[in-house]
Amino acid sequence: MKQYVVGVDVGGTNIKLGVVGPSGKVIVRNSFATKPFASSRMKLISALSRAIEASIMAAGLNKKQILGVGIGLPGLIDYEKGIVRFLPNIPGWHSVHLRSILQKKVHLPVFVDNDVKIITLAESKFGAGRGVKNLVCMTLGTGVGAGLILNGQLYRGQDNAAGELGHIPLNEHGPKCNCGGVGCFEAYVGNRPLFALASRMMGKPGLTTLDMFALAKKGNKKALFFWKTAGQRIGNGLVGIVNLLNPRLIIIGGGVSNNEEFLFKPITDTIRRRAMSLQGSAFKIKRAKFKDDAGIIGAYVLVTNAQK
Ligand SMILES: [Zn+2]
Backbone conformation region of residue 303, classed left if phi is above 0, alpha if psi is from -120 to 50, else beta: alpha
Give the pLDDT confidence score for residue 1 in this predicted structure: 81
Distance 178 CA to ligand 1 centre (A): 6
Q: Which helix (H) or strand (E) segment is 69 a member of?
A: strand 66-73
| 115 is known as an active-site residue | yes
Q: How far apart are alpha carbons 145 and 152 in whole angstroms?
A: 19
Burial of 58 (0-12, 13-18, 19+ CB in 10 A): middle
Give the pLDDT confidence score for residue 170 in this predicted structure: 93
Give the pLDDT confidence score for residue 65 in this predicted structure: 97
Give the pLDDT confidence score for residue 297 in this predicted structure: 98
Q: How far apart are alpha carbons 37 and 206 in whole angstroms?
A: 31
Ion ligand 1: residues, Cβ under 5 Å: 167, 177, 179, 181, 184
Distance 50 CA to ligand 1 centre (A): 36
Give the pLDDT confidence score for residue 72 in this predicted structure: 97
* Closest-CA residue to 75 (of 145, 169, 122): 145
Q: How far apart are alpha carbons 257 and 270 in whole angstroms?
A: 17
Give the pLDDT confidence score for residue 232 in this predicted structure: 97
Distance 144 CA to ligand 1 centre (A): 9
Q: How far apart are alpha carbons 194 and 285 in whole angstroms?
A: 20
Mention every residue, 6+ apart, whose C-beta is less than 8 A from residue 220: none
Q: Is 276 helix (H, G, I), strand (E, B) or coil?
A: coil
Q: How far apart are alpha carbons 72 and 117 in whole angstroms?
A: 8
Residue-level pLDDT, tens digit, the chain, 308 residues:
889 999 999 998 899 999 999 999 999 999 999 999 988 899 999 999 999 999 999 999 999 999 999 999 999 999 999 999 999 888 889 999 999 999 999 999 999 999 999 999 999 999 999 999 999 999 998 889 999 999 999 999 999 999 999 999 999 999 998 888 999 999 999 999 999 999 999 999 999 999 999 999 999 999 999 999 999 999 999 999 999 999 999 999 988 878 889 999 999 999 999 999 999 998 999 999 999 999 999 999 999 999 97
Distance 165 CA to ligand 1 centre (A): 9
Q: Is 126:23 a contact under the CB 8 Å cutoff?
A: yes
Q: How far apart are alpha carbons 203 and 43 in whole angstroms?
A: 45
Q: Which position among 9, 113, 115, 293 bears the catalytic label?
A: 115
